[in-house]
Amino acid sequence: MPHTNMGPRILEQAGWGLWLMSLVCLVGVFSYFSKEYSLQNTGRLVFSTAGQLSLIGDEARPVQSFFDTNDPNDQMGKLVLGKDLLIFYNAIPKTGSRSLDNAVVRSIAANKSFEKQSNLTFQLIPPEAFADSEVLNKFVKSRSIPTYIRGHAMCDVFASVFRIVYINAVRDPVERVISNYYFDVFGDNSSTATHGGENWPETIDECIQIPTHPCNAAIDYYRAVTLRQFCGMEDACRTVSRWTLERAKVNAQRYTVVGLTSDMEATVKALQMLVPDLLDGILPHYQQYRDEFRDTTKTIQKPKPQPQTVQILRQQMMLQYEFYEFLSARFRRLKQLLDIS
């Protein structure tokens, strides 16, 4: 057999093989990153950690989660694009909701089609809808989108074609109860007192020391309201229990943002980042009017409670604090991943 030099041919074949392998790798990398990035028709390049797209109408929208979770129902931290939205803010009393409400409305004032349904007087979300799913759903369906509704209603699942964006904020449970008590006794610069009178204890310390006084029924309501509003419409939600807490945790996953009263500016920043097409510009509006609304909505009198009163309330609100810490941890994680200082 004649001798042939196979070396160059082998090297040539190996070179072609390496070139083909490199090409395959490049195609794979391009395919991966094409799933991770999507260019919206607005020209905005949006990163999607989940690498998913959901098709709504003719527009592809990214599904973006800032939480390490496999639960597709967890909406916390997911980017919401577009203006075909209904923003549902079932505000917890005495959490700074009127200041946040003002910022939301001002940030979208230029959108003439945007409909504000403010519930400062408990009128536009009718009181009978607060704990009645059928009535609340009927009210929601009657809105035109985009729309924003606010009120002290229970969390609910809406049988609607609208895309619902749930938002909220929570406050330290004892601080919130104390603020609620004195707000109802003394009112603020924009609201009158709803409790009080000659036989009503002016301080929460006095009230707790008289267990049979009706003021304690008011405190019972204040203690339960946050868990109840997140728990929802079921009758079992009316009573604070482990079941109520766990249901509230599940429903909290419906919310794009649940911020903190103690960190409201970061809450506003998160809303601006995650609902950019409707809430872009909310931060400067909040910063501009924050002090004005703080003065307007500040309770007229709020004596410092005795340490014993704080201790009693904390002991009575173990489940409420578990929920508060649960939401606080989620919000800290959200701030970290959104790079909010």
pLDDT of amino acid 270: 96
pLDDT in tens, 70-120: 577 899 999 999 888 888 999 999 998 888 887 787 776 654 445 555 432
pLDDT score, position 12: 54
User: How far is residue 279's CA from residue 276's CA, in Å, rounded to a whole number?
Assistant: 5
Provide the pLDDT for residue 113: 46
- Region 275-286: mean pLDDT is 87
pLDDT of residue 15: 55
Task: Please provide the size of the chain in residues.
Answer: 341
pLDDT at residue number 5: 53
Per-residue pLDDT averaged across 63-75, rounded? 61
pLDDT at 145: 78
Whether 189 has a pLDDT exceeding 60, the answer reads yes
pTM: 0.76
- Is residue 62's pLDDT more than 60? no
Given the DSSP bridges, would you call strands 115-117 and 147-150 parallel, antiparallel or unpaired? Answer: parallel
Determine which of 9-13, 254-258, 319-323 has the lowest per-residue pLDDT on average.
9-13
Look at 181-195, 245-259, 309-323, 325-339 and tell me which has the smallest mean pLDDT. 181-195
Q: Is the pLDDT of residue 59 over 60?
A: no
Would you call 275 exposed, middle or buried from its count of C-beta atoms within 10 A (0-12, 13-18, 19+)?
A: buried
- pLDDT (tens digit per residue) in 128-154: 777 888 888 888 888 877 888 888 889
Q: Quick check: 45 pLDDT over 60?
A: no
Percent of the chain surpassing pLDDT 70? 72
**From residue 229, how far is each of 93, 130, 140 by CA, in Å?**
10, 9, 17
- Whether the Cβ atoms of residue 261 and residue 170 lie closer than 8 Å to each other: yes
Say how far apart CA 296 and CA 275 lie, in whole Å.
Answer: 28
| 257 vs 67: CA distance, rounded Å | 12
Question: What pLDDT score does 103 carry?
Answer: 78
* Two tokens, residue 130: 């607060």
Q: What is the average pLDDT score of the chain?
A: 77
Q: Nearest CA to 41 among 24, 57, 55, 60? A: 60
8 A C-beta contact, residue 92 and residue 283: no
pLDDT tier, 51 (very low <50, low <70, confident <90, very high otherwise): very low
Residue 241 is predicted with a pLDDT of 96
- Looking up tokens 């409305």 gives 105
What phi and psi values does residue 49 have, to the nearest 5 degrees?
-65, -25
Query: Which band of pLDDT confidence, cut at 50, 70 and 90, is reported for residue 317?
Result: very high
CA distance 271 to 32: 29
Q: What is the pLDDT of residue 18?
A: 52
Helix (H, G, I), strand (E, B) or coil at 170: strand
155-169: per-residue pLDDT in tens? 998 876 678 999 999
CA atoms within 13 A on the CB side of 165: 25
| 62 class by beta-carbon count within 10 Å (0-12 exposed, 13-18 middle, 19+ buried) | buried
Backbone angles phi, psi at 87, to 5 degrees: -90, 120
pLDDT > 90? residue 193:
no
d(CA 187, CA 301): 8
| pLDDT number for residue 146 | 80
For range 293-303, the mean pLDDT: 76
pLDDT for position 334: 95
For residue 180, pLDDT over 70 is answered with yes
pLDDT of residue 23: 53
SS3 assignment, position 220: helix
